[in-house]
Each structure stands twice: as C-alpha cells, then as structure tokens.
Amino acid sequence: MKNRSVFVTGAGGELGSALLSHLVKAGAKVVALDVNEKYVCPLAGVRTVHGDLCNQNLLQSLFDEHKFDMVFHFAALLSSAAEKNPFLSQKVNVDGTGFLLELAYNAGKERKSPTRFLFPSSIAVYGSADKARLRSPLTEDECLQPETLYGIQKLFTEQVGAYLTRRCSGEYLDFRSLRYPGLISIDTLPTGGTSDYAAEMIHHANDGKAYGCFVSSNSKLPFMTMPDAIAALTSLAEADADKLTRSVYNVRGFSVSAAELREEVLKHFPKAQISFEPVEWRDNVVASWPDDIDDSLAQKDWGWSACHSLETAFTDYFLPGLRKAA
C-alpha cells in the first residue's frame, strides 16, 4: 500500500471508516469520498471530499488530479434501502459503480499498469427457487439467482468487473471482490442492511435498551466481525495476482441463527430484553439468502482465515470494545 494513490468511496460507512486507519498506517495517499456533508475523516493526511457517486464530473476531476492506482468502492444503497428505493439504487449501485469502473479502467490504460479495484459484494447474490439448497454452505458458483434488487446489482457488478479484467488480460483493470456475510461492528451501527439485526441486538443489550428483532428466531446467516472483514479485504488487495484463480471470493466468520445469537448475547448481558418481532418482507429476504457459505477457495488461494468464532467475537472483540467506548 505504501505510496499508492487510493480512492475510497463511502468512506464514512462501516467498512470505509474501519479501512482508512489501515491505509494510513500502510503509507497510502488517500482520498475519502462520502455523500454526508458532515463527514470528516479524523486521520491526518487523508483528504475528505463530499459528493455523490453519481456526480461524474466530480469523479473525473478526482481521477485526473490524483491518478488513483487503487480503488476501494463502498458507496452503495444497502439491501433494505435498495428494496425501498429501487430506482435510486439503480443509479447508485449500477450507474455510479459502472462509471467508477470505467474511470479505473481508463486510468490503468493511460498509466500502462492496472488499477486495482476492490469491491465488497454480498451473500445477497445467492438465491434459488429450491430453498433447501440454501440451507447448506454454498461455493462461489452455486445458486446465483438472487431475489433482491441489491443482490442482482451486486452480482451484475461482480460479472462486469471480472469481464473487464479478462477483456484487458489484467493490464488495465485488476478487479477483486469479496462476498461478505453480515458484518458486525462495535464502532458503528449499520443502516439499511438486512443483517443489521445482529449488530442492533448487541448494541441494544449493551445500552440497556429492549430490542425487537425484525427476523424470526430460526433465521440463520453467516457473519463476520469488522476486524476480520478488513483483514480479508486488505489481504486480498495485497495478494499477488498470479495466486488468484478468480475475481470473486467468499469469506465468512461464523454462521448463527437469530435465536443462537440471542443466547450468546444473554450470556454476557443477562438482563437484556430481546424479543422476536419479525417484519415479513425482511424475514423473507433473509430466507432467500444462504445459511452459510464455503470460503475454502479464499483459504487456498490467498491464505484467508477468520480470527473470530461466535464465542471469541464476544470475548475478544465485542465486549472489550464496548467497555472501552463506555
């Protein structure tokens, strides 16, 4: 990362905020873009830019000025928000992302070395009419019939990015993507995501607030902690291209049902009030996603290994971090 010119979109979100400190420590020159006018990156040496991903003139001017050779693209409407705002999500998740890919491709062509483009995809790309197939861990190439607009848009970007990389034999664009499970952070609360209930359950318990979980108790998803999410992303970003056998990889930490997560929360917060108040459409989205995913290819190709299980996520990450923040 040292001396790389790095562009981070959606820098004020969960992933962006967690990534920036790693980039700065690694010696990268970072420009952080976020649509929130109140967002200011607290790290010295990071240039904060306020703007919309759909502002093509702004993106073009930033590429012209900084000659980015690495992009981390986090700006997006998340799953629940995309379902509520389908046409806005099309503009942001597809049109805005497409133009950013074009800029990265052209920058690599002009520089005569590939722009490395890191894209966080999602287990939302999975889906099947046969729901029984979703109850077993899925590899990267199984059950790719997403039922949500967010999943459709993520899968489309995966395929376009991989195509553009193949099209130029990796000479102009080096597109790399992780299919993330639900992410849980102690530092920020997510907004607009289908898997938000996990973080909300933990934060409400810590704050002494009652929580009505918006999915049913038997709803099950794979998750990972934010430190593991950043470790996966940065290790993929730095992996040698000749070691990678594909553009898109699964990663995961642990798979847990909402009831099992509640039980674990109650071990550490015995007075927590957690009930199940399923919202049908959100519950249906979770049911359309896999219970777990297979990340053996990431382990094989670039040595990926999660640090946190469900138990160690609480003992080594959630609880120490929440106490520190108190």
Sign of the alpha-carbon torsion through 77, 109, 31, 21:
positive
Active-site annotation holds for 150 = yes
> DSSP letters along 68-86, please?
-SEEEE-----HHHHHH-H
Give the whole-angstrom CA distance, residue 233 versus residue 189.
20
SS3 47: strand
SS3 5: strand
Continuous segment of H or E residues that includes residue 231: helix 226-238
Continuous segment of H or E residues that includes residue 221: strand 220-225
Give the whole-angstrom CA distance, residue 292 versus residue 321.
26
- Number of other residues whose CB lies within 10 A of the CB of residue 264: 18
φ, ψ for residue 127, nearest 5 deg: 175, 155
The catalytic residue among 39, 105, 126, 150 is: 150
Continuous segment of H or E residues that includes residue 224: strand 220-225
Give me the amino acid identity at 242.
Answer: D
Q: Which residues contact 85 (CB under 8 A, 6 or more apart)?
A: 77
Please report where in the chains the tokens 């074009």 appear, as a residue: 102
Residues catalogued as catalytic = 150
